[in-house]
Amino acid sequence: MKRLFGTPLTDYLPALGLLVLTIIYLVTGYQYAPQARVFPVTVAWIAIVLIGLDVLSRTKTAAGAVVTRWLNPSAASHKADEQFPLRKQLIAVLWPLCFVALIVLIGFLYAVPIYVMASMYFRGRLNLLLCAVVSAAATLSIWLLFAQLLELELYPGVLFSEL
């Protein structure tokens, strides 16, 4: 199998597929009116940077090892041939899917504190008070940045939107 920077080419496919989708999203975002494009274009550029870091972390280079240790220390100690149990893989996929479902149903301002608090408490096993403070801070930051500073209306969710 062909390798690029010590990594099989197939290991890059998920990140490259996501990069293609993100570029399509970015190009689409630039077609919106100036105020409407702020959020999607910002998200797309941030995603491109994160995808770049992901691709770099997949390489078997010194820079890739540094990025892996910096962004995901537990992955740095993970053996390449070690497989995680299917249960753990499914849980890892279900958490973001549940977050997306929460956003669709109840909107950003309610989904963020629920998700942050639940993930910190159940997945991170952190102190409940700390979870509450961090989730409140994250929600406040989102509200201040998007609703107040950028004057963008946050998606209210299907359950709270006006019919």
8 and 1 in contact (C-beta within 8 Å)?
yes
Predicted confidence (pLDDT) per residue in 122-156, tens digit? 999 999 999 999 999 999 999 999 889 988 888 88
The model carries a pTM of 0.59
Q: Give whole-number Cα distances, 42 to 30, 36, 70, 110, 132, in Å.
A: 10, 11, 23, 22, 28
Predicted confidence (pLDDT) per residue in 38-77, tens digit? 888 999 999 999 999 988 988 888 988 888 888 877 665 6
